[in-house]
Amino acid sequence: MAAFSMNELIVAYLAREIEDGDLCFVGVGTNGRAFTLAVGIPLAAVRLAQMRHAPGAAVYWGNLLEPDLSAFPERLNQDAFTRWPGAAAPTDTGIKCDMLSRGRFDVCFNSAAQIDRHGNMNITAIGDRDRPKVRLVGALAQPDHAAFVRRPYIVMDLDRRSFVERVDFVTSVGHLDGGTSREAAGLAPGGPHRVVTDLAVFDFTPETREMRLVSLHPGVALGDVTDRMGFRPAVPDSIAVTDPPRADDLDAIRLRIDPNNILLRE
């Protein structure tokens, strides 16, 4: 088996999850690891899916609808975004919001400073909102993604500080308090579909809507996962192993999708 990085494994996993015809939202991200998780891995995954089984899968990246993902520049400066080739750049970003609210998106990719047992996310503040320990950047469209997108994928590294029993501030409603509480609060059914981390993949139990282990990445033990979580997830009787990327996945990622190691830089 070819050696692979965890980023490559996650890309291959997410690519398999993307269906032909899916419209996937990807943000413009920030810096460092946050960029890799929020932008690099999702774009590489959609591109791999396009090259494999889902030629009709599309991306809305920033405010660019169906950008050409066949070549990435060596440097992602502002001007690279300005000149990115694509099918459409709607005249204002409100059009993207309309598309979200109307339910046109199938998939989105999100990460957060905190996520809890029920998939609620916090990117607002650590501590109390009015006198926080750390003020974060704010909501952007994340609440809209969690409210309106059919299959939100949360892509985050496992960490006790970010996987918490209850988020300090519910920026984006996942499955709220579990059960049918999300719908009772007034949102449409839905919420986070999978949580994809550097050690394992999770979903949410159908009844209680709490985070549940789906698969461990190759070589990872259950204890490795629970040691890095602030709550105990639901654990099924038998735990699968996440399929590793195939050799031709790795070739596609390394040679064609991200030859300059921009998207998946460690």
Partner 1 sequence: MRVKRKSLEEALAPISSGASVAIGGSLLRRQPNAAVRNLVARGVSDLTVLSWAATTAVDFLAAAGAIRRWEGIYVGLFNHGLAPNFRRGVEEGRIVAREFSETAWVARLRAAAQGVPFLPIRGLFGSDIAVRNPDQIRTVTCPFTGDLLQAVPPAATDFTLIHGYMGDEYGNIVWPVVRDTDDVDPVFAAAATRLIVTVERIVPHELVKAQPTLTYIPGQWVESVVEVPYGSHPAACDAFYDADEAHLEAFALACRSGDGAAEYLDRYVRHRDHASYLAAVGGIEALRAFDVAKG
Residues found near partner 1 in the complex (CB under 8 A) = 28, 30-31, 35, 62-64, 77-79, 81-84, 86, 89, 91-94, 96-97, 100-101, 124-125, 129-144, 147-148, 169-173, 176, 181-182, 185-188
Judged by phi (left if over 0) then psi (alpha if -120 to 50, else beta), residue 32 lies in left
Write the CB contacts of 117 (distance below 8 Å, at least 6 apart in sequence).
165, 166, 178, 210, 211, 231, 233
Which CB sits closer to partner 1, 5 or 181? 181
Minimum CB separation from partner 1 for residue 226, in Å? Answer: 28
Give the nearest distance from C-beta 88 to partner 1 in angstroms. Answer: 9
CB 12 → partner 1: shortest distance, Å?
Answer: 27
Cα–Cα distance between 174 and 178 in angstroms, integer? 9
DSSP annotation of 144 reads: H
Which residue intervals of 41-188 are DSSP H helices? 41-51, 78-82, 94-101, 142-148, 181-185
Q: How far is the CB of 141 from partner 1 (least distance, A)?
A: 4
Q: Which is nearer to partner 1, 130 or 237 (CB)?
A: 130
**For partner 1, the closer CB: 140 or 222:** 140
> Min. distance of Cβ 42 from partner 1 in angstroms?
17
Question: Whole-angstrom Cα distance, residue 200 to residue 207?
Answer: 22
Contact 154, 121 (CB under 8 A): yes
Our CB check for partner 1 shows the closer of 52 and 96 to be 96
Rounded CA separation 70/67 (Å): 9
Is the Cβ of residue 39 or residue 201 nearer to partner 1 in the bound state?
A: 39
